[in-house]
Structure formats: C-alpha cells, structure tokens
Amino acid sequence: MYHRLSDGPFDPEEGDYVLPPSLFEVQARGLVAAGRPVVALGALAGGCYEDGAVALTFDDGCDSDATVAGPLLLSLGVPAAFFVNPALAGREGRASWDALRALAAQGFAIGSHGLDHTLLDGLGPVELERQLAGSRREIEERLGRTVDALSLPGGTGGARALRAARAAGYRLVLGSRPGVLRGPAGDGILPRVAMRRTRGLEGFWAAVERRPLFMLRLRARHALTLAGRRLLGTRGYARLREKRLGAGRP
C-alpha cells in the first residue's frame, strides 16, 4: 500500500506515508530484477496467483500516481491499482480526471477510496451509502468503466462498511490490517502492508518476503492503533496522532 511519491514538502498528516520517488523506483525495479511476480488486483479474487506474488496499490489519488508511479510501472510492465476520492480529483496534489482516464487507458485499475476520504466509522447508513455507492458511481461515469474494488479510507468502517460495500457492488474490499493473503480473496477485508519512508528498502523487502518477526511487529502495532481508536474515537485518535507523532493516517 503506497500513498504519495514525492521529494517535496508534504502535508504533516501524510507524514511517513510519503515516499521519495527514488526509493519507490528502487523497490519497483527490485521486484522485477528478483523475478517476483507482480499481479493485478483481479488475480486476487480468483486466487489465480503464484505463492509469493505481490499486488501494488496506491491510496488517495495523489498526482504522483500519474506523474511518477504510472509512467515507471508502465515502462516495467508492472500492474497496479489506484484508489481515488472522486470529490477530490483535480484538487491541489491530486490527480485530475484526465490523468486518471489516461492511467485507466494504460491498463491500470482505478478503484474507490470513498467519496472524499471521510473516515467510515460511525457514519449513518445514508452517508455510508453515499461514500461507497456514490463514489463508485461517479468514478464509473467519469472513466466509463466498471469499478469493482474499494480501499477503506484510513482502513476504517469494519464489518459494517464491508456489508455496505458488497451492497454497493464492490467485489474486492481492501483495508489496512497488515497481513498476507493466501488463496482466493474470499468475502473479507483484504490485508495490506503500508510502505513507509522510514522503513526504507529494508522494510520493503521484509514485507515482500513476509519475514515473520516483521509481520508480527506490524500486526502488534496495528492492534495498538485499533485500541487507541476504540478508546478515543476515530477522529479524536487521528487528531492526537497528528499532534504527537506528526505522522499520518494508515
């Protein structure tokens, strides 16, 4: 799970999730050089992928999807999925509809990351439906193709969001719980591993190779995050985290 790729100054809320393009390039070229299979999201649904394969996803619809990640991955022949917030497309730092159309035409998957990145915990049914079904509808209308994957904003929403996503027609729902997928995607929320600037290349390979201690640490950290959210509420926790750590949303 990637977010923005940039060397420039970035929003403190994005924090550690912003990777220098050079680091991403080393990672992507490293996958190809190592002969590691990189598969499209669609392969996950049917479980048609080799053991040890990876899928690359990008959240938030950042402009670097189109200016950095897309061109590099296209040149390497590597698939990826970009999860966007339709209400924010074309705003400062976000990819425009034209850029997203170009990515889709190049064969990349475009999924929904909710309408405007509102965190889904505690939303009423009408707003939840608007965020999930509404965002799907808008992306499909704008791009003229089917959208069947959702990445939960901030990894929020849990089982309720999963049910609403199914009702809205999504086939794949991706979360932020660190983990490894084995076999077909099934009916649950798919695990992912967030790429972080401070974990560098070492963290990248630890995730790709699913090193047990690394994965255990990620899961422990994620469990702490969830406990913090339960204690303070999702928004209270996000505010505290920004203040204390200057680090971003998962």
Binding site residues, Zn ion, CB under 5 A: 59-60
Give 79 or 250: the residue with its C-beta nearer to Zn ion. Answer: 250
In the complex, the smallest distance separating the C-beta of residue 49 from Zn ion, rounded to whole angstroms, is 25
The structure tokens listed for 73 are 């991955």
Give 84 or 185: the residue with its C-beta nearer to Zn ion. Answer: 84
Give the Cα separation of 129 and 161 in Å (integer): 9
Bridge partners (DSSP) listed for residue 174: 151, 190
Give 79 or 154: the residue with its C-beta nearer to Zn ion. Answer: 154
In the complex, the smallest distance separating the C-beta of residue 61 from Zn ion, rounded to whole angstroms, is 9
In the complex, the smallest distance separating the C-beta of residue 59 from Zn ion, rounded to whole angstroms, is 4
Residue nearest to Zn ion (CB): 59
Is the Cβ–Cβ distance between 79 and 108 less than 8 Å?
Answer: yes
Give the Cα separation of 79 and 39 in Å (integer): 6
In the complex, the smallest distance separating the C-beta of residue 176 from Zn ion, rounded to whole angstroms, is 9
In the complex, the smallest distance separating the C-beta of residue 34 from Zn ion, rounded to whole angstroms, is 28
Give 27 or 176: the residue with its C-beta nearer to Zn ion. Answer: 176
Give 59 or 65: the residue with its C-beta nearer to Zn ion. Answer: 59
- SS3 category, 40: coil
**Beta-carbon-side half-sphere exposure of residue 104 (alpha carbons within 13 Å):** 20
65 closest CA partner among 134, 166, 145, 151: 151
Contact residues for 33 (Cβ-Cβ < 8 A; gap 6+) = none
